[in-house]
Amino acid sequence: MALIVHKYGGTSVANLDKIRHVAQRVVATKDQGNDVVVVVSAMAGETDRLINLAYEINPDPPAREVDMLVSTGEQVSAALLAMALSAMGHRAISFTGGQVGMFTVGVHRKAKIREISAERIFEKLREGAIVIVTGFQGVDIHGNITTLGRGGSDTSAVAIAAALKADLCEIYTDVDGVYTADPRLVPSARKLDTISHDSMLEMATLGAKVLQSRSVEFAKKYRVPLRVRSTFSDDPGTLITEETDTMERTTITGVTVLRDQARINVLDLPNVPGIAAKIFKAIADENINVDMIVLTENNYGGTDISFTLAIGDLKTAHETMQRIVADVSAKGVTVEKDVVKISVVGIGMQSQPGVAAGVFDALGSNGINIEMISTSEIKISCLIKGKDVEHATRVIHDRFKLGEAATAKVEEADA
């Protein structure tokens, strides 16, 4: 008998029929003799509906009240799933994040999990119940409802699995695993059977939407075996696990695309120490994450600083830069909206020279302009124009033959 955490996303609980289908999957797992904890998202479209109401009544709604509002979405789907399980003759009980002691810290709408007191869940499991927990939300020390940010339900599920020391955490979604690239962009994209935490982390951070990156961090930190699979098929999906010797060490695991990016350029700054710090402190004070940063000397003896960020933060960041432009003695600020970040990810990359060159050549020889570059040991990211995204993904996927199952073992083939 194992303790298994299931997580179902919004499309999996989009209507009552789908909730009944989820109930059947949960019962099948329970009937195999397992204890089951289920984490649910809001019914597809519900969070957007609520967010739209918020912005319609207040163009700048207080974040605390947005959390109060949108957290109802998961509460509804959790209660309905409990009812569906009860209709099938099973004991089930639903809890809000607050009710299971999912304590968070940090700002509303982007809270971070600090602690989960698993006692209430264990108590109900011991009584034989299936426990359902609302994803995406917790409470702060004052009892205010907080949310973890978009996609936070994955993180809730893995954090709960970690707190319960669960044997497995299964993320049920509308795709049947992790692919070498988005199959809608690259028809030859191949599903991976296993992937290491590190590669998955990079891919999630860099735009593979199948899992929220924070959930992968949690899984890695607490060694939670994590599986991504489809609610609507019996495909075993992709297992995300610690790196092992038997794991396929391809140079590149996959290609990902991060959309909804924007770029800000602060022009012609004086070449004095502390200027960059001033700029990024002002941005950090607004609680905005910047991603890629490029600092270049321009032809007039000054310095240009460009950085990218999520487009949702662009308005605030742009206003912040305009406010301090005189203070940092810059000539001006420009913004660019239609950019995406394309990344190639793979643990094998660190032992393989020439990967970066291969990426740049694939893009360059196909007429795709690279605006910014950032690299780490296991990924290379390029900022490109939005219009180039499909073409770029295909040429990189082709260049590294990611569609072929056993390109594999690049260490042996190329070394």
d(CA 392, CA 161): 37
The least CB distance from residue 101 to a second copy, in Å, is: 10
Burial of residue 342 (number of CB atoms within 10 Å: 0-12, 13-18, 19+)? buried
d(CA 250, CA 357): 17
The least CB distance from residue 29 to a second copy, in Å, is: 20
Say which amino acid occupies 211: L
> Do the strands 102-105 and 168-173 form a parallel or antiparallel pair, or are they unpaired?
unpaired
The least CB distance from residue 63 to a second copy, in Å, is: 11
Q: In whole angstroms, what separates CA 135 from the centre of its chain? A: 14
The least CB distance from residue 100 to a second copy, in Å, is: 10
The least CB distance from residue 316 to a second copy, in Å, is: 17
The least CB distance from residue 31 to a second copy, in Å, is: 19
Determine contact, residues 15/43, Cβ cutoff 8 Å: yes
The least CB distance from residue 396 to a second copy, in Å, is: 44
Determine contact, residues 43/14, Cβ cutoff 8 Å: yes
Task: Report the residue count for the chain.
Answer: 415
Range list of β-strands (E), 32-161: 35-40, 92-95, 102-105, 112-116, 130-134, 137-139, 145-147
Q: How many CB atoms lie within 10 A of CB 87?
A: 11
Q: Look at residues 170, 90, 169 and name the one whose alpha carbon lies nearest to residue 130.
A: 90
Residues that bind a second copy (CB under 8 A): 16, 19-20, 50, 53-54, 56-62, 64-66, 68-69, 71-72, 75-76, 78-80, 82-84, 86-87, 93-94, 96, 98-99, 143-145
Number of helical (H) and strand (E) elements in the chain, helices listed first: 13, 18
Token representation of residue 256: 């990902």
